[in-house]
Amino acid sequence: MIRLRPAVLSLFLVLVLFAPAVAQSTDAVFPGEQWEYVRPGQLADHGWDGRALRTVMEHLRDDSNSTGVVVVDRGRVVFRFGDIEELSYVASVRKSILAMLYGYWVENSTIDLDATLEEMGMDDIGGLLAIERQARIQDLVTARSGVYHPASYSGDDLSQAPPRGSQQPGSYMLYSNWDFNAAGAAFELATGRDIYDELQAQLAGPLQFEDWDRSMQQKAGNLTVSQYPAYPIWVSTRDMARIGYLMLNEGSWNGRQVISQDWARRITSVVTPLEEMNPVRRRDGYFGYGYMWWVWDGPRAVGPFEGAYTARGAWGQWITVFPALDLVIAHKTHNVYRRTTSWESWRRMVELLFEAKGVEMKGPYPWG
Is 90 exceeded by the pLDDT of residue 11?
no
Closest Cα partner for 240 from 38, 356, 52, 100? 100
pLDDT single digits (tens) 310-346: 999 999 999 999 999 999 999 999 987 778 999 999 9
With 0-12 CB in 10 A as exposed, 13-18 as middle and 19+ as buried, what is 293? buried
Give the alpha-carbon dihedral of 252, 253, 258, 259, to 10 degrees. -30
The residues that bridge with 11 in the sheet, in sequence order, are none
- Residue 342's SS3 state is coil
Would you list the DSSP string of 175-203? --HHHHHHHHHHHHHHH---HHHHHIIII
**What pLDDT score was predicted for residue 365?**
55
Q: Beta partners for 328?
A: 72, 321
259 C-beta neighbours (distance < 10 Å), count: 27
Q: Which stretches of the chain are DSSP H helices?
A: 6-12, 50-63, 93-107, 117-120, 137-141, 177-191, 195-199, 237-248, 261-267, 343-357
pLDDT above 90 (res 26): no
Over the stretch 205-219, which tens digit does the pLDDT of each residue have?
A: 999 999 999 999 999
Q: List beta partners, residue 181.
A: none
Residue 281 has pLDDT above 80, yes or no: yes
Q: In the predicted model, is pLDDT for residue 3 greater than 70? A: no
Q: What is the pLDDT of residue 8?
A: 40
Contact 209, 34 (CB under 8 A): no
Backbone dihedral angles phi then psi of residue 45, each to the nearest 5 degrees: -65, -20
Q: What is the pLDDT of residues 218-237, one digit of tens each?
A: 999 999 999 999 999 999 99
Tell whether the model's pLDDT for residue 1 goes beyond 80: no
Model's pTM, two decimal places? 0.91
Question: Rounded mean pLDDT of 97-112?
Answer: 98
Q: How confident is the model at residue 7 (pLDDT cuts 50, 70, 90)?
A: very low
Residue 4 has pLDDT above 70, yes or no: no
CA 163 – CA 71 distance, rounded (Å) = 43
pLDDT tens, position by position, 230-271: 999 999 999 999 999 999 999 999 999 999 999 999 999 999
Contacts of 22 (CB under 8 A, 6+ apart): 252, 255, 256, 257, 261
- Supply the Cα-derived Rg of the chain in whole angstroms: 20
Please give the average per-residue pLDDT across 8-30, as a whole number: 45
pLDDT of residue 339: 87
pLDDT at position 362 is: 61
Question: For the chain, what is the total number of helices (H) and then of strands (E)?
Answer: 10, 12
Percent above pLDDT 70 for the chain: 90
